[in-house]
Structure 1
């Protein structure tokens, strides 16, 4: 069972929910927020495996190239430009689709590989943890996310999605069997929650909502959930001691005051998401 945890925006508590649910349910943890993977700051696994992530990009053979511009016309991502008598490559825009190589009639284009990031893996408390790390200056996270998720093992995996609803999130959801949407009871939170709900519904997978910083009163998030017939899995109270523990990088599940909150969230998740 691959359970994606996502939010319509950053800062709602997505990683808080992901890391603590992973421990409470004894599930593997996968951090797909490769631009800012902070789940390991809380779980602190012992990293014992590091894998480079490579991507392909075109190399133009100047001796064979006639600067006809066919490759630039074929590129939908503007990674190639025909400038006077030369073809200019913007390698970080390249999506490695191979269209330029097919379009070239002079066999002037070949592909080479370059490193764009890495995958780090380790173990903590008998659960496997892995995360992708995008190199500074690299614009595309999707290749690392795909490499991170392509061979998921284990009975249950908690996937900590990137924030927002970009293509990074969409590519992560392709590997999910169900989803948990983390939100906060504010107008801003509700606005982005609605967008996230729309994205998840495209995949036709079961999902539910966890409300973070909840005052446990009637609010706009609960009203929206009723109107849309969306299950609320549970909530995390709006409390100073929880915020203080989080700011110190502590695992809330380890605190006897907070442990029942996440045990209840696991039980409700199993019911709402048809978690086997």
Structure 2
């Protein structure tokens, strides 16, 4: 089973929910797909990590074979190639590694070389397997690295994916092939606004979902009213609680200290299994 934990904005407690759910299951694979700013590992006791570079192919133009016909640039919808009067310029950061430019080159002047965009890090801790990605600074495209993290999905286990915040392509890539999505929000105007966008995005993907309200009690009831209007299931309320906040500030997942929440997450996992 694959459950993605998502949110329309950062700071709602998405990673907190993903980590505590994984620890509650005791035998989960936790995949942090927020590769631009992964932080699931900061809430876990990480030992030795297995580090793997993530490479993507980018075009290399042979000037001795290239006739500057421009077919490669015409093909590339991302404008990663520019054919000038004397040479072809390759903007590697804009390349999506489709390989199409090499296929359409009539002279066979384009080959490919690998370029590192980041790395994945894997470790086992507290009975769960954790894999997270780290995108190199300045890299604009995260999708290949998210795919690399997701290649660690174990179909025989519960897989919990911590998605990037927002509603961009990185969220859609993470949600793809998931069995269920848990949306984490907060009861504030910003939380509601971004939750609406996230729900519209996941609706378009077609994956079933429910909502957890974190820091319940700090705002109003408009999120609950919205969920009632849309017919979206409210899965859990995590209160705005000093004890939970203190544990978080010390880097301690609250299910390790508050057994009632471990039981609540186990019940939630069982409920999602029955739904699927």
**TMscore range, shorter length:** over 0.9
Instruction: Report deviation, 1:49.
Output: 1.6
Q: What is the alpha-carbon distance in structure 2 between the residues aligned to residue 122 and residue 228 of structure 1? A: 40
Q: What is the alpha-carbon distance in structure 1 between the residues aligned to residue 68 and residue 148 of structure 2? A: 35
Is 27-36 or 208-217 further displaced after alignment?
A: 208-217
Contact 2:215-2:239 within 8 A present in 1 as well: yes
Alpha-carbon deviations, 1:147-200, whole Å to 9, x = none?
A: 111341142011100111110110111131101000000111111101111122
Q: What is the alpha-carbon distance in structure 2 between the residues aligned to residue 217 and residue 92 of structure 1? A: 42
The structure-2 alpha-carbon separation of the partners of 1:72 and 1:143, relative to structure 1 and needing over 3 Å to count, comes to same
Aligned residue pairs total 274
Alpha-carbon deviations, 1:85-117, whole Å to 9, x = none?
A: 211110011001112112211111001101111
Paired residue for 1:198? Answer: 200
Paired residue for 2:20? Answer: 20
Alpha-carbon deviations, 1:66-101, whole Å to 9, x = none?
A: 112111111111110112221111001100111211
The structure-2 alpha-carbon separation of the partners of 1:235 and 1:49, relative to structure 1 and needing over 3 Å to count, comes to same
Q: What is the alpha-carbon distance in structure 2 between the residues aligned to residue 220 and residue 34 of structure 1? A: 32
Paired residue for 2:118? Answer: 117
Q: What is the alpha-carbon distance in structure 2 between the residues aligned to residue 47 and residue 221 of structure 1? A: 42
Q: What is the alpha-carbon distance in structure 1 between the residues aligned to residue 244 and residue 168 of structure 2? A: 29
Instruction: Report deviation, 1:140.
Output: 1.0
SS of residue paired to 2:187 = coil
Q: What is the alpha-carbon distance in structure 2 between the residues aligned to residue 243 and residue 79 of structure 1? A: 46
Instruction: Report deviation, 1:123.
Output: 0.5
Deviating 4+ runs (over 4 angstroms): none
The alignment's C-alpha RMSD in Å is 1.7
Q: What is the alpha-carbon distance in structure 1 between the residues aligned to residue 228 and residue 94 of structure 2? A: 43
SS of residue paired to 1:123 = strand
Indicate which of 209, 215, 227 corresponds to 1:213.
215
SS of residue paired to 1:47 = coil
Query: Structure 2: which 5+ residue stretches go unaligned?
Result: none
User: TM-score, normalised to structure 2's length?
Assistant: 0.94
SS of residue paired to 2:274 = coil
Contact 1:208-1:272 within 8 A present in 2 as well: no
Q: What is the alpha-carbon distance in structure 2 between the residues aligned to residue 11 and residue 217 of structure 1? A: 15
Paired residue for 1:234? Answer: 236
Q: What is the alpha-carbon distance in structure 2 between the residues aligned to residue 173 and residue 194 of structure 1? A: 17
Is 4-13 or 263-272 further displaced after alignment?
A: 263-272
Query: Structure 1: which 5+ residue stretches go unaligned?
Result: none
